[in-house]
Chains A and B, each alone.
Chain A
Protein backbone atom coordinates (compact mmCIF):
# COMPACT_ATOMS: atom_id res chain seq x y z
CA UNK A 1 0.00 0.00 0.00
CA UNK A 2 0.90 3.65 -0.32
CA UNK A 3 3.36 4.76 2.34
CA UNK A 4 4.16 8.27 3.52
CA UNK A 5 7.27 8.84 5.57
CA UNK A 6 7.59 11.90 7.79
CA UNK A 7 10.84 12.94 9.42
CA UNK A 8 11.81 13.73 12.10
CA UNK A 9 9.27 12.18 14.44
CA UNK A 10 10.23 14.47 17.30
CA UNK A 11 12.07 17.76 17.60
CA UNK A 12 12.99 19.69 20.72
CA UNK A 13 14.73 23.01 20.17
CA UNK A 14 15.26 26.49 21.55
CA UNK A 15 13.07 29.46 20.78
CA UNK A 16 14.19 31.31 17.65
CA UNK A 17 15.36 28.19 15.85
CA UNK A 18 14.02 27.27 12.40
CA UNK A 19 12.88 23.67 12.02
CA UNK A 20 12.41 21.71 8.80
CA UNK A 21 10.05 18.73 8.54
CA UNK A 22 10.14 16.39 5.55
CA UNK A 23 7.28 14.42 4.06
CA UNK A 24 8.00 11.75 1.45
CA UNK A 25 5.75 9.48 -0.55
CA UNK A 26 7.73 6.25 -0.78
CA UNK A 27 5.95 4.23 -3.44
CA UNK A 28 3.79 6.66 -5.38
CA UNK A 29 3.93 10.09 -6.94
CA UNK A 30 2.07 12.69 -4.93
CA UNK A 31 0.91 15.63 -7.00
CA UNK A 32 -0.70 17.15 -3.93
CA UNK A 33 0.44 17.11 -0.32
CA UNK A 34 -1.23 18.56 2.75
CA UNK A 35 0.10 19.86 6.05
CA UNK A 36 -1.96 19.69 9.24
CA UNK A 37 -1.52 20.83 12.79
CA UNK A 38 -3.10 19.01 15.73
CA UNK A 39 -3.40 20.25 19.30
CA UNK A 40 -4.01 17.79 22.16
CA UNK A 41 -7.48 16.25 22.04
CA UNK A 42 -8.38 18.34 19.01
CA UNK A 43 -8.88 17.49 15.41
CA UNK A 44 -6.53 17.92 12.48
CA UNK A 45 -6.52 21.51 11.23
CA UNK A 46 -5.42 21.96 7.65
CA UNK A 47 -2.62 24.50 7.36
CA UNK A 48 -1.85 24.41 3.65
CA UNK A 49 -2.09 22.48 0.43
CA UNK A 50 0.98 22.11 -1.73
CA UNK A 51 1.12 21.13 -5.36
CA UNK A 52 4.32 19.98 -6.98
CA UNK A 53 6.10 22.80 -8.73
CA UNK A 54 3.81 25.59 -7.57
CA UNK A 55 3.26 27.78 -4.53
CA UNK A 56 1.38 26.37 -1.58
CA UNK A 57 -2.16 27.47 -0.80
CA UNK A 58 -2.50 28.46 2.84
CA UNK A 59 -5.66 28.30 4.92
CA UNK A 60 -7.03 31.44 6.46
CA UNK A 61 -5.11 32.53 9.52
CA UNK A 62 -1.93 30.58 8.71
CA UNK A 63 1.15 32.79 8.38
CA UNK A 64 2.92 32.12 5.10
CA UNK A 65 6.19 33.63 6.31
CA UNK A 66 6.13 31.55 9.48
CA UNK A 67 5.34 28.23 7.84
CA UNK A 68 7.31 27.85 4.60
CA UNK A 69 6.25 25.00 2.37
CA UNK A 70 8.21 23.63 -0.55
CA UNK A 71 7.03 20.85 -2.86
CA UNK A 72 9.96 20.54 -5.23
CA UNK A 73 9.34 17.00 -6.46
CA UNK A 74 6.51 14.50 -6.79
CA UNK A 75 7.73 12.61 -3.73
CA UNK A 76 8.89 15.31 -1.32
CA UNK A 77 7.33 18.25 0.47
CA UNK A 78 8.94 20.18 3.30
CA UNK A 79 7.51 22.40 6.02
CA UNK A 80 9.89 24.89 7.65
CA UNK A 81 8.77 26.56 10.85
CA UNK A 82 10.81 29.75 10.87
CA UNK A 83 11.98 31.39 14.09
CA UNK A 84 9.91 28.98 16.14
CA UNK A 85 8.45 30.07 19.48
CA UNK A 86 6.77 28.08 22.25
CA UNK A 87 3.32 28.75 20.79
CA UNK A 88 4.40 26.86 17.65
CA UNK A 89 4.77 23.69 19.70
CA UNK A 90 2.33 21.15 18.32
CA UNK A 91 1.91 17.89 16.43
CA UNK A 92 2.40 18.42 12.69
CA UNK A 93 1.12 15.81 10.25
CA UNK A 94 1.55 15.60 6.50
CA UNK A 95 -0.49 13.66 3.99
CA UNK A 96 -0.21 12.93 0.30
CA UNK A 97 -2.73 12.33 -2.44
CA UNK A 98 -2.14 9.44 -4.81
CA UNK A 99 -4.16 10.12 -7.98
CA UNK A 100 -4.25 6.40 -8.75
CA UNK A 101 -5.94 5.37 -5.49
CA UNK A 102 -7.77 8.63 -4.82
CA UNK A 103 -11.27 7.23 -5.33
CA UNK A 104 -10.77 4.72 -2.52
CA UNK A 105 -8.43 6.51 -0.13
CA UNK A 106 -8.15 10.29 -0.56
CA UNK A 107 -5.02 10.92 1.49
CA UNK A 108 -2.20 8.85 2.95
CA UNK A 109 -0.84 10.16 6.22
CA UNK A 110 2.59 10.30 7.74
CA UNK A 111 3.15 9.49 11.41
CA UNK A 112 3.53 13.10 12.44
CA UNK A 113 6.23 15.27 14.00
CA UNK A 114 6.04 16.33 17.62
CA UNK A 115 7.59 19.81 17.80
CA UNK A 116 8.50 21.21 21.20
CA UNK A 117 9.96 24.71 21.45
CA UNK A 118 11.61 25.58 24.75
Chain B
Protein backbone atom coordinates (compact mmCIF):
# COMPACT_ATOMS: atom_id res chain seq x y z
CA UNK B 1 0.00 0.00 0.00
CA UNK B 2 1.28 3.45 -0.93
CA UNK B 3 2.05 5.72 2.00
CA UNK B 4 2.74 9.44 2.30
CA UNK B 5 3.94 11.16 5.47
CA UNK B 6 4.24 14.93 5.73
CA UNK B 7 6.10 16.95 8.32
CA UNK B 8 5.80 19.14 10.20
CA UNK B 9 2.08 19.07 10.86
CA UNK B 10 2.03 22.84 11.29
CA UNK B 11 4.48 25.63 10.56
CA UNK B 12 4.28 29.21 11.74
CA UNK B 13 6.54 31.64 9.91
CA UNK B 14 7.27 35.31 10.02
CA UNK B 15 6.90 37.09 6.70
CA UNK B 16 10.17 36.69 4.82
CA UNK B 17 11.30 33.70 6.88
CA UNK B 18 12.11 30.90 4.42
CA UNK B 19 11.45 27.26 5.33
CA UNK B 20 10.89 23.78 3.91
CA UNK B 21 8.14 21.18 4.13
CA UNK B 22 8.88 17.48 3.90
CA UNK B 23 6.98 14.68 2.17
CA UNK B 24 8.25 11.12 2.65
CA UNK B 25 6.72 8.40 0.53
CA UNK B 26 6.68 4.71 -0.25
CA UNK B 27 5.04 3.64 -3.47
CA UNK B 28 5.00 0.55 -5.65
CA UNK B 29 6.29 2.20 -8.80
CA UNK B 30 6.14 5.99 -8.77
CA UNK B 31 4.14 7.60 -11.53
CA UNK B 32 4.27 11.10 -10.19
CA UNK B 33 4.47 13.01 -6.94
CA UNK B 34 2.15 16.00 -6.71
CA UNK B 35 1.93 19.08 -4.53
CA UNK B 36 -1.35 20.85 -3.89
CA UNK B 37 -2.38 23.90 -1.91
CA UNK B 38 -5.66 23.83 0.01
CA UNK B 39 -7.33 26.89 1.51
CA UNK B 40 -9.95 26.47 4.27
CA UNK B 41 -13.28 25.23 2.92
CA UNK B 42 -11.90 24.75 -0.59
CA UNK B 43 -10.69 21.89 -2.75
CA UNK B 44 -7.01 21.31 -3.46
CA UNK B 45 -5.33 23.58 -5.99
CA UNK B 46 -2.63 22.02 -8.14
CA UNK B 47 0.94 23.30 -7.74
CA UNK B 48 3.53 20.87 -9.12
CA UNK B 49 4.15 17.46 -10.66
CA UNK B 50 7.49 15.69 -10.18
CA UNK B 51 8.34 12.42 -11.88
CA UNK B 52 11.93 11.47 -11.21
CA UNK B 53 14.64 11.92 -8.61
CA UNK B 54 16.59 15.11 -9.10
CA UNK B 55 13.71 16.94 -10.72
CA UNK B 56 12.87 20.46 -9.53
CA UNK B 57 9.94 22.76 -10.26
CA UNK B 58 9.46 26.41 -9.31
CA UNK B 59 6.52 28.77 -9.12
CA UNK B 60 6.89 32.21 -7.61
CA UNK B 61 8.12 31.69 -4.03
CA UNK B 62 7.67 27.91 -4.11
CA UNK B 63 10.17 25.30 -5.23
CA UNK B 64 9.60 21.54 -5.17
CA UNK B 65 12.33 18.92 -5.28
CA UNK B 66 12.28 15.14 -5.43
CA UNK B 67 14.52 12.28 -4.30
CA UNK B 68 13.83 8.55 -4.35
CA UNK B 69 12.34 8.67 -0.86
CA UNK B 70 11.07 12.18 -0.28
CA UNK B 71 10.11 15.52 -1.67
CA UNK B 72 10.62 19.00 -0.28
CA UNK B 73 8.58 22.12 -0.82
CA UNK B 74 10.70 25.17 -0.17
CA UNK B 75 9.00 28.47 0.56
CA UNK B 76 11.31 31.42 -0.02
CA UNK B 77 10.53 34.75 1.66
CA UNK B 78 6.90 33.82 2.30
CA UNK B 79 4.08 36.33 2.40
CA UNK B 80 0.82 36.12 4.39
CA UNK B 81 -1.01 35.00 1.23
CA UNK B 82 1.11 31.85 1.23
CA UNK B 83 -0.77 30.73 4.35
CA UNK B 84 -2.56 27.47 3.48
CA UNK B 85 -2.38 23.72 3.93
CA UNK B 86 0.06 22.10 1.54
CA UNK B 87 -0.73 18.55 0.51
CA UNK B 88 1.57 15.98 -1.05
CA UNK B 89 0.25 13.01 -3.04
CA UNK B 90 1.68 10.11 -5.02
CA UNK B 91 0.38 7.98 -7.83
CA UNK B 92 1.63 4.50 -8.67
CA UNK B 93 1.94 2.78 -12.01
CA UNK B 94 -1.09 0.53 -11.48
CA UNK B 95 -4.02 2.90 -11.38
CA UNK B 96 -5.06 6.55 -11.41
CA UNK B 97 -5.69 6.92 -7.67
CA UNK B 98 -3.82 9.46 -5.56
CA UNK B 99 -2.60 8.74 -2.03
CA UNK B 100 -2.43 11.91 0.04
CA UNK B 101 -0.44 12.89 3.07
CA UNK B 102 -2.11 14.64 5.99
CA UNK B 103 -0.71 18.00 4.94
CA UNK B 104 1.32 20.79 6.50
CA UNK B 105 -0.59 23.87 7.60
CA UNK B 106 1.54 26.96 7.02
CA UNK B 107 0.72 30.26 8.72
CA UNK B 108 2.70 33.33 7.68
CA UNK B 109 2.48 36.35 9.97
CA UNK B 110 3.00 39.86 8.67
Contacts and interface: CB of A to CB of B under 8 A. Distances in A.
Contacts of A102: 96
B97 interface: yes
A106 interface: yes
Interface of A: 4, 6, 32, 34, 41-44, 46, 49, 91, 93, 95, 97, 102, 104-112, 114
A34 B102 contact: no
A112 B41 contact: yes
Nearest to B47: A105
Contacts of B42: 111-112
B43 A111 contact: yes
A105 B49 contact: yes
11 contacts: A4-B43, A6-B43, A46-B97, A46-B98, A46-B99, A49-B96, A105-B34, A106-B96, A106-B98, A109-B45, A114-B41
Interface residues of B, number: 22
Contacts of B101: 43
B41 A97 contact: no
Nearest to B102: A43
A109 B96 contact: no
A42 to B, nearest CB: 6
B80 interface: no
Contacts of B43: 4, 6, 93, 95, 109-112
